[in-house]
Amino acid sequence: MFESGRAQHEASNGAAYGALAMLTLILIVCNIDRMIIAILFDSIKAEFRLQDWQLGILSGLAFTLFYGVGSLFIARVAERRDRIAILSASLAVWSALTMACGLATSYVQLLVLRMGVGLSESGCQPASHSLISDLFDEDRRPFATGIYAAGALAGGLVALPLGGILAQHYGWRGALLIVGAPGLIIAVLVRFAMRDPRRRRGAAQAAATKPEPAAAAFRTIFSDRAMRNIILAGVLYAMASAASLSFGPAFLMRKFDISPAEAGIYFGLLSGIPAIVTNVVVGWFASRLARRDLAWLQWIAAAGALLAIPATIVFLLAPSLEIALAGLVIQSCFSVFWLGPSIAAMQSAAGAERRATAAACFVASYTVLGFGLGPVVAGAISDVLTLRLGGQGLGGGLLALQPLAVWAAAHFLLAANALRAPRAEVEK
């Protein structure tokens, strides 16, 4: 009987990690289609005669506003509908729209198509976060979310070098057409190879669980001190870091006069590989530390936000390409400390009945306000500084957002204190 129980447990673990691998693959594809635009910036700018602030909107608000609004809506659907069906449909649509971006004949057309990509990609993370929370208990969840969050970094690792090489050989349009195609195949595999864990519980149990009203769910999330501070910290840190992600390859090309392919390889590999490894390792340690105190999830995030600042300054002010890339490697390691632990902290604080909604509030907030405004603000500052500093203006625009990382760290620490409060009260 003991051997049979252990075999069932191992099989269950195997199925959970198999599902996690597929969810991570979907996130990789999601971020390839999202981030490839960054390495294509200068080609698009030249063809449509754009300013940096317009590029910032293209990768920022045009994408993130629709992504955020869609996340909130789809999260409510994901609380009661088949999450696998949501994932596969979203993947198919955003892949097709990414290909359509390669056919745009004007900036306005490209802008509208990017809005569509953002809206369709909004089905990815809320459903996935909810699935991971069903597949892994609280002790293993930080490690699982660390692996999942590494998928976003892996997407950038693939998107930038691949996009630079494809753009050099086939132009920016060809690059978008090529990278969008695999997602259509994966969408079919996801639909027929995966099952939502809710379907195993039976219709009777599903019917007995009445979904929480949307207003009550949002009110609970934003009135909770821990979740509120995690969301605020995510917004601020995303603003500080998203601009560097969006403009990093263009910064290297302008400052050190290298090709798109070189910039994509340097930025993609030297930011992606260290970040992926660090993300998984941090998730592993966070899983163990959180067993003693959930506050560790946010102490880790605060430490990473602060330690990344000096490395970012080195990257932006380095006198040589070699020193800049060294700063990039170190910055990439520390800048990912926040994401996996913050996802796990949100899911632990939210409760089972509103996990998808909590994930959507978190993702939508840091995506719309952080990833949306960060590149636009940095691009606008770059345009102003370029009038005086020339090619150094973009670095100044990126540097101007770094104080937001300190502000983010303060909110991570407030969230950590809130996560400790319930256990401290129980001990008394």
**CA-based R_g, the chain, Å:** 21
What tens digit of pLDDT does each residue of 101-141 get? 999 999 999 999 999 998 999 888 888 988 988 888 878 88
Return the C-alpha torsion angle 409, 413, 414, 415, nearest 10. Answer: 100
Statement: residue 395 has pLDDT above 50 = yes
Q: What is the mean pLDDT of residues 63-80?
A: 81
C-alpha to C-alpha distance for 409 and 406, rounded to whole angstroms: 5
For 50: left if phi > 0, alpha if psi spans -120 to 50, otherwise beta; the answer is beta
* Residue with tokens 């802008």, as numbered in its chain: 111
More confident site: 359 or 284: 284
What the block records as the tokens of 105 is 């004949």
Helix (H) or strand (E) run with residue 44 in it = helix 41-48
What the block records as the tokens of 330 is 């170190």
Walk me through the domains of the chain, giving residue ranges and CATH numbers: 15-191+214-422 (1.20.1250.20)
C-alpha to C-alpha distance for 56 and 206, rounded to whole angstroms: 44
C-alpha to C-alpha distance for 128 and 148, rounded to whole angstroms: 9
Burial class (CB in 10 A: 0-12, 13-18, 19+), 216: exposed
Q: What is the mean pLDDT of residues 260-289?
A: 87
What tens digit of pLDDT does each residue of 77-94 get? 877 788 999 999 999 999
C-alpha to C-alpha distance for 110 and 101, rounded to whole angstroms: 6
C-alpha to C-alpha distance for 37 and 113, rounded to whole angstroms: 12
Q: What is the mean pLDDT of residues 394-419?
A: 92
Q: What is the mean pLDDT of residues 62-78?
A: 82
Are 129 and 27 in contact, with CB atoms under 8 Å apart?
Answer: no
Smallest CA-to-CA distance from 146 within 331, 344, 14, 412 is with: 344
Q: What is the mean pLDDT of residues 40-62?
A: 82
Statement: residue 5 has pLDDT above 50 = no
pLDDT at 12: 65
pLDDT at 202: 52
Q: How many helical (H) and strand (E) elements, i.e. helices and strands, does the chain have? A: 19, 0
Three-state secondary structure call for residue 397: helix
At a CB cut-off of 8 Å and minimum separation 6, what does 210 contact? none
DSSP structure string for 93-115: HHHHHHHHHTT--SHHHHHHHHH
pLDDT band of 422, cuts 50, 70, 90: low
DSSP structure string for 218-276: HHHHHHSHHHHHHHHHHHHHHHHHHHHHHHHHHHHHHHH---HHHHHHHHHHHHHHHHH
C-alpha to C-alpha distance for 254 and 24, rounded to whole angstroms: 33
pLDDT band of 340, cuts 50, 70, 90: confident
Percent with pLDDT over 70 in the chain: 92
What tens digit of pLDDT does each residue of 208-261 get? 456 677 788 889 999 999 999 999 999 999 998 888 877 888 888 888 988 877
C-alpha to C-alpha distance for 74 and 399, rounded to whole angstroms: 35
CA distances from 419 to 299, 337, 348 (A): 11, 18, 10
Three-state secondary structure call for residue 56: helix
pLDDT at 145: 85
At a CB cut-off of 8 Å and minimum separation 6, what does 358 contact? 217, 221, 227, 346, 347, 349, 350
Are 340 and 283 in contact, with CB atoms under 8 Å apart?
Answer: yes
Are 270 and 328 in contact, with CB atoms under 8 Å apart?
Answer: yes
pLDDT at 333: 93
Write down the mean pLDDT value for the chain.
Answer: 85
pLDDT at 8: 43
pLDDT at 391: 62
pLDDT at 165: 86
What the block records as the tokens of 403 is 């104080």
Percent with pLDDT over 90 in the chain: 38
Burial class (CB in 10 A: 0-12, 13-18, 19+), 192: exposed
Are 326 and 314 in contact, with CB atoms under 8 Å apart?
Answer: yes
Are 305 and 403 in contact, with CB atoms under 8 Å apart?
Answer: no
Between 51-65, 90-104, 191-205, 377-391, the lowest mean confidence (pLDDT) is in: 191-205
Say which amino acid occupies 328.
L
